[in-house]
Amino acid sequence: MRLATYTLASDPGTVRIGAQLDGKLLDLVAGEAALGDGKAMIPASMKGLLALGEAGLARARAVLEFARRNPGRLDATTLAPESAVRFLPPIPDADKFLCVGKNYRTHLEELRKNDLIKEMPGEPTGFIKLNSCLTGHCADVPRRETVNRLDYEPEMVFVLGKAARHAKREDAASYIAGITILNDLTCRDTQKAEVASGSRFWTSKNAPSFGPLGPYIITMDEVPDPYNIWVTCSVNGVQRMRVNTSDQIWKLPDIIPHFSRLLDLQPGDMFATGAPGGVAVGKADAEALYLKPGDVVECAFEQPAMVLRNRIVSP
């Protein structure tokens, strides 16, 4: 199942949660009402749906199956073409969006060569992505006037489906509801300056105030192995990178126990799992590859297939 948060072009003021069905988006709240079985379980937010745990996802699947069998009972706003939809971040209001840093072997080598790291961390490290940074699939992303070296970073994101506190390694996978894609657009100008100054923090300057996310949460029943996914990034139709998630250093049995001993994790919290190797900063012609206004960036999973597309624009 693929879940999204969105608005309709015809009704931009109403935020909806939906499930993909044959190239359309099913409004799960309206679909549940059309089902007409007297139950009203599905809330109006993705975070609320995930807070219901497996029961919430099972109810969403039941509504999706009803819609698949009875499309004639749904109007054009309940089952809308993707072309009529404005995608929002799948979870625009997560309590916590934690980004695991320095987590791909190939990317670490790039950072070492460019003096962007001084040492290999001995445990998972991270920084926080603010909700105000996030935007959706097909949204334009303004490159700030102060940013000259804007780099692309496609990342697999885990979405939590239940609360976790002092989680055990062997139970780590059970906390995950699904995966999505983040393009963790990074300003290399300030990142290098912070490393040179000895800063130990990755700040909001380093991860500027934008972060495309989505378009869907792919539930784990459609993800045979999260550590065998090819992640790609293309700019203006030309593939820049292709790396497998097996290259990650810190995996779920490391990430969930580590952070859940420090923080109480909640349904809808997210973990970005780091940038793979192949980003612009690691290449000899990096200056020509940094993102410029007009560039269209596509971050993708090959299987299960999903594409996050955004255009870089002038502010």
Where is pLDDT greater, at 132 or 236? 236
Q: What is the pLDDT of residue 64?
A: 98
| Mean pLDDT score, 290-299 | 97
Peptide bond into 304 cis (omega under 30): yes
Taking the CA atoms of 120, 128, 107 and 123 in sequence, report the sign of the dihedral they define: positive
| Mean pLDDT score, 279-304 | 94
Each residue of 51-81: pLDDT tens digit?
999 999 999 999 999 999 999 999 999 999 9
* Confidence grade of residue 194 (pLDDT, cut at 50, 70, 90): very low
Level-2 CATH architecture, domain 97-313: Alpha-Beta Complex (3.90)
| Mean pLDDT score, 5-33 | 97
* Domain 2-88 shares a fold with domain 97-313: no
Burial grade of 89 (CB within 10 A; 0-12, 13-18, 19 or more): buried
Taking the CA atoms of 221, 224, 230 and 231 in sequence, report the sign of the dihedral they define: positive
Percent of residues, the chain, with pLDDT higher than 70: 89
Mean model confidence pLDDT for the chain: 90
Structure tokens at 18: 């939906």
* Confidence grade of residue 124 (pLDDT, cut at 50, 70, 90): confident
Domain boundaries, the chain: 2-88, 97-313
CA distances from 25 to 48, 54, 55, 82, 125 (A): 19, 21, 21, 6, 36
Return the CATH superfamily for domain 2-88: Fumarylacetoacetase, N-terminal domain (2.30.30.230)
Structure tokens at 243: 């790396």
Size of the chain in residues? 315
Using DSSP bridges, classify how beta strands 11-21 and 24-27 pair: parallel, antiparallel or unpaired: antiparallel
| Mean pLDDT score, 94-117 | 78
